[in-house]
């Protein structure tokens, strides 16, 4: 995979640019979409890490800064201009937006990742069981995933969080994960069903390998690209669900998350007061997060499916 | 005309009923696991309104029997399921004697109307654009739409709603900020009212369309590439049919079919997304009802709204599955 076959590629009728691109695609992981997407996500994570190191995170507390200050270079309706101490401005409760974002953005990402990891693990287990064991177990799992896939998670979670009030970030992730296993289960089940009769699985079975060995050592490695794609798609869905709950005023009440910042901004009439930085910055950050995840997913598609790659 | 095998129909009906049953049960169990007592919330609201409430123990007992929560769990559950079958979710605790079903009946037409309009527009525009991306006679400009469509699909409608609201309502003041119709307009079948509804509904619908059309466009693009290489398309060209005729009657007609199945899978997410858009625009639909109920801790309403939306989703998936052979005569159920 890493050795570059440069001799056969250089044809006289190709431009230098096309030759370069051909060489680059010799290694499928050096995919521009994948790199850009991963770069975006890394940037957001770095913002969280560096921000915690170099920025005063005590500014997330209410009243730690002047109210409704605009970012540097802008003016708010009261004619105040931005101050260097609060480069991205402050919200209506006197909290620094940079500090809020530094704390809040990794929180939103964390919920997405954790929910997706749990959902994936359940999905892998159920999908393999259904596809490999078959029979009544398969029927039960198939019907259950068919049923659960039509229920929008947001609405069940609204009922849950309205009943229980303040939930922790981890609990919210676990709750979302309860609705993230259906699509990986279906995907893996379908793949396992088609793989079950293939030569190498038959061979392993004849050699007396255990069910677990066949499932996880023989079949699983072939599914890795699918699993990755499904994982990233699930992270997006989990973050969208979490943000949805937060915008409805549910979810963790005391920890800053991007969705909660937006909720507070809307409730305080930030739109009419033209405090665009208050809701706008978390919105842009979430947008970048989703674009990053999409690019990673498209990149992974191209890595696992060479037909999608273009010159 | 179309024959749906009984086994397939039975299978789908079982899934549908099971979906509704599980959703109803989850919605019922969850609030009962929490320590919150709806009767105390209602009493608290009374106390907040009146200053003090005398003989509160009696009122609590009264409220509990009125809300039916003094019965054993199993009786409550059976009653609840029986109620759900009749679309009876009990009484709202925030607007106390109003039945939940009446509140939902007021909000549902708004949500359905907005959804029907935005989904129809997004499906139409998205698929047409996706088809034009592949068609060789389409203007060069359409090809630029691909990256834009891709990026926009990744953004949920709440974010686009916020941005559009800020640009068009707060900044340019072209559209109203909140509500589903003007405060000065009397609801009814008058031209003024219809105009006001369209005017208020434009931005919520646009914010859904903007971020969802790309999904259809990209799907359609992939399908059209497949259809473009088919023999029947080549034959149609060889016969000298007009390119436009080939596009609509040969290419789109065949490529659109899998898109309709995708529609069924996507509908749950669309409805959930729209609920949030309604909350942002304070649109008079289910989203606002749900949001107000969350603020008031009005559980019967939260349950009712959640259930009706889940029911809508499950029914749409069911219907799309059943009518599929009508639009694609090649498909036969049960095989």
In tens, the pLDDT along A199-220 reads 888 888 888 888 888 878 888 8
Pick from A51-55, A76-80, A172-176, B173-177 the range whose average pLDDT is largest: A172-176
Structure tokens at A126: 């159920």
Question: Chain B residue with minimal CA distance to A244?
Answer: B276
Whether A163 contacts B34, CB under 8 Å: yes
Q: What stretch of H or E contains A296?
A: helix A276-304
Q: Which residues contact A245 (CB under 8 A, 6 or more apart)?
A: A154, A157, A158, A161, A172, A251, A259
Domain ranges (residues) in chain A? 106-308
The residue among B144, B285, B295, B153 whose CA lies nearest residue B219 is B153
For an interface test with B, which of A112, A144, A156, A163 has the most B Cβ atoms less than 10 Å from its Cβ? A163
pLDDT at A3 over 50: no
pLDDT of residue A275: 80
B207-226 mean pLDDT: 85
Supply the pLDDT for residue A205. Answer: 85
Residue B217 distance to chain A (closest CA, Å): 16
Q: Is the pLDDT of residue A122 over 90?
A: yes
Nearest CA among A224, A130, A137 for reference residue A181? A130
The 10s digit of each residue's pLDDT in B83-117 is 888 888 887 877 777 888 888 888 888 888 888 88
Three-state DSSP string of chain B: CCCCCHHHHHHHHHHHHHHHHHHHHHHHHHHHHCCCCHHHHHHHHHHHHHCCCCCHHHHHHHHHHHHCCCCCHHHHHHHHHHHHHCCCCCECCCCCCCEHHHHHHHHHHHHHHHHHHHHHHHHHHHHHHHHHHHCCCCCCHHHHHHHHHHHHHCCCHHHHHHHHHHHHHHHCCCCCCCCCCCCCCCCCCCHHHHHHHHHHHHHHHHHHHHHHHHHHHHHHHHHHHHHHCCHHHHHHHHCCCCHHHHHHHHHHHHHHHHHHHHHHHHHHHHHHHHHHHHHHCCCCCHHHHHHHHHHHCCHHHHHHHHHHHHHHHHHHHHHHHHHHHHHCCCCCCCC
pLDDT at A172 over 50: yes
The more confidently predicted of residues B291 and A269 is B291
Q: Using CB atoms, pick whichever of B280, B290, B317 lies closest to residue A266.
A: B280
- Statement: residue B26 has pLDDT above 70: yes
Closest by Cα among A85, A106, A79 to A97:
A85
pLDDT at B231: 87
pLDDT score, position A308: 63
Among A235-244, A284-293, B1-10, the range scoring the smallest mean pLDDT is B1-10
**DSSP 8-class letter at A135:** H
The whole-number pLDDT of residue A12 equals 57
Q: What is the pLDDT of residue B58?
A: 81
Least confident of A35-49, B115-129, B174-188, B239-253: B174-188
Phi-psi region of B37 (alpha: psi -120 to 50; beta: other; left: phi over 0): beta
* B residues 130-159 lying closer than 8 A (beta carbon) to A: 150-151, 153-156, 158-159
Calculate what percentage of chain B has a pLDDT beyond 90.
0
Interface of B with A in 205-224 (CB under 8 A): none
pLDDT for the residue A10: 46
pLDDT value for A177: 92
Asked if pLDDT for residue A115 goes beyond 90, the answer is: yes
> Please, which residues 72-91 of chain B have a Cβ atom closer than 8 Å to chain A?
none
pLDDT for residue A9 is more than 60: no
Look at the alpha carbons of A123, B152, A290, A179 in this order and tell me if their dihedral is positive or negative.
negative
The whole-number pLDDT of residue A118 equals: 95
Q: Which DSSP letter does residue A63 get? A: T
3-class secondary-structure state, position A172: helix
A81 DSSP β-pair partners: A75
Which of B151, B272, B317 is opposite residue A244, by nearest beta carbon?
Answer: B272
pTM for this predicted structure: 0.81
- Average pLDDT of chain B is 81
| Backbone dihedral angles phi then psi of residue A208, each to the nearest 5 degrees | 85, 25
Q: Which of B18, B272, B303 sits opposite A152 (nearest CB)?
A: B272
What's the gap in Å between the CA of B59 and the closest CA on chain A? 23
The CA distances from residue B325 to B1, B334, B335, in Å, are: 10, 11, 12
Mean pLDDT along residues A209-235: 83
- A41, A293 Cβ separation under 8 angstroms: yes
Q: With contacts defined as CB-CB under 8 Å, which chain B residues touch A271?
A: 162, 165-166, 169-170, 177
The encoded tokens of residue A225 equal 């690209």
All domains of chain B, ordered by start, with CATH?
100-297 (1.10.3720.10)
* pLDDT over 60 (residue B335): no
The pLDDT value recorded for residue A8 is 47
The helix or strand, by DSSP H or E, that contains position A202, with its residue range, turns out to be helix A199-206
**Do A240 and B15 make contact, defined as CB atoms within 8 angstroms?**
no
Cβ contact, residue pair B271, A236, below 8 Å? no
The confidence score (pLDDT) of residue A119 equals 93
Q: Which of A160-164, A272-276, B39-43, B196-200 has the lowest mean pLDDT?
A: B39-43
Please name the fold of domain A106-308. Answer: MetI-like fold (1.10.3720)
pLDDT band at B53 (very low <50, low <70, confident <90, very high): low
Contact list, B272 vs chain A (CB under 8 Å): 152-155, 244
Chain A residues touching B291 at Cβ < 8 A: 248-249
CA distance A178 to chain B (A): 12
Say if B164 is an interface residue toward chain A (CB within 8 Å): no
Give CA–CA dist B27/B37, Å, rounded: 16
Rounded CA-CA distance A48/B113 in Å is 42
| Residue among B283, B141, B307, B142 nearest B199 (CA) | B283
State residue A212 phi and psi, 5-degree precision: -60, -45
Q: Do B276 and A294 touch (CB under 8 A)?
A: no
Chosen from A37, A142, A152, A161 to mutate, greatest number of chain B CBs within 10 A: A152
Is there a contact between A159 and B303 if contact means CB atoms under 8 Å apart? yes
Q: How confident is the model at residue B332 (pLDDT cuts 50, 70, 90)?
A: low
Distance between A84 CA and the closest CA of chain B, angstroms: 26
């Amino acid at each position: 995979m890493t050795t570059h076959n440069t001799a056969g590629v250089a044809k006289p009728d190709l431009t230098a640019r096309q030759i370069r691109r051909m060489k680059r695609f010799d290694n499928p992981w050096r995919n521009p979409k994948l790199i850009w997407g991963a770069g975006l996500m890394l940037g957001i994570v770095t913002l969280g890490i560096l921000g915690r190191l170099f920025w005063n995170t005590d500014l997330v507390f209410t009243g730690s800064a002047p109210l409704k200050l605009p970012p540097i270079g802008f003016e708010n309706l009261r004619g105040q201009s931005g101050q260097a101490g609060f480069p991205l401005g402050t919200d209506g409760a006197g909290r620094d937006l940079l500090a809020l974002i530094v704390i809040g953005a990794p929180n939103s990402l964390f919920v997405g990742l954790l929910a997706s990891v749990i959902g994936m693990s359940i999905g892998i287990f159920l999908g393999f069981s259904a596809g490999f064991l078959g029979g009544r177990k398969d029927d039960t799992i198939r019907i259950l995933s068919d049923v659960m896939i039509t229920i929008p998670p947001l609405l069940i979670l609204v009922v849950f969080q309205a009943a229980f009030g303040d939930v922790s970030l981890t609990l919210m992730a676990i709750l979302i994960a309860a609705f993230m296993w259906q699509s990986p289960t279906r995907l893996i089940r379908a793949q396992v069903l088609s793989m079950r009769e293939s030569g190498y699985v038959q061979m392993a079975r004849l050699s007396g390998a255990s069910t677990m060995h066949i499932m996880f050592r023989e079949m699983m490695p072939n599914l890795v690209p699918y699993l990755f794609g499904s994982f990233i798609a699930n992270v997006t869905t989990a973050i969208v669900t979490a943000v949805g709950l937060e915008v409805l005023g549910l979810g963790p009440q005391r920890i800053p998350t991007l969705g909660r910042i937006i909720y507070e901004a809307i409730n305080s009439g930030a739109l009419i007061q033209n405090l665009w930085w208050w809701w706008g910055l978390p919105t842009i950050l979430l947008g970048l997060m989703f674009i990053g995840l999409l690019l990673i997913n498209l990149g992974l598609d191209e890595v696992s499916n060479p037909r999608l790659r273009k010159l | 005309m179309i024959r749906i095998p009984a086994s397939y129909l039975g299978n789908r009906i079982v899934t549908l009923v099971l979906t509704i049953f599980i959703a109803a049960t989850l919605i019922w169990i969850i609030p009962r696991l929490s320590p919150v007592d709806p009767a105390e919330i209602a009493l608290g609201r009374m106390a907040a309104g009146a200053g003090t409430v005398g003989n509160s123990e009696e009122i609590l007992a009264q409220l509990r029997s009125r809300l039916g929560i003094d019965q054993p769990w199993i009786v409550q559950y059976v009653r609840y399921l029986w109620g759900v079958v009749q679309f009876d979710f009990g009484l709202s605790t925030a607007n106390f004697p109003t039945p939940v079903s009446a509140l939902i009946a007021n909000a549902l037409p708004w949500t359905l109307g907005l959804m029907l309009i935005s989904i129809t527009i997004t499906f139409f525009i998205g698929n047409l654009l996706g088809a034009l991306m592949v068609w060789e006679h389409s203007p060069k400009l359409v090809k630029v739409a691909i990256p834009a469509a891709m990026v926009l699909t990744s953004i949920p409608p709440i974010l686009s709603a916020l941005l559009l609201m800020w640009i068009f309502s707060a900044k340019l003041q072209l559209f109203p900020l909140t509500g589903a119709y003007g405060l000065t307009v009397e609801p009814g079948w008058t031209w003024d009212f219809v105009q006001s509804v369209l005017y208020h509904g434009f931005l919520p619908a646009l914010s859904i369309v903007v971020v969802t059309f790309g999904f259809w466009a990209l799907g359609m693009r992939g399908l059209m590439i497949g259809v473009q290489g088919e023999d029947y398309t080549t034959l149609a060209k060889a016969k000298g049919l007009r390119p436009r005729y080939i596009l609509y009657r040969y290419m789109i007609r065949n490529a659109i079919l899998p898109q309709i199945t995708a529609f069924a899978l996507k509908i749950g997410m669309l409805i959930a997304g729209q609920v949030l858009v309604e909350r942002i625009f304070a649109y008079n639909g289910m989203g606002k009802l749900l949001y107000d109920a969350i603020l008031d801790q009005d559980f019967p309403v939260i349950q009712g709204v959640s259930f009706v939306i889940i029911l809508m989703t499950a029914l749409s998936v069911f219907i799309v599955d059943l009518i599929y052979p009508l639009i694609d005569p090649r498909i036969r159920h049960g095989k």
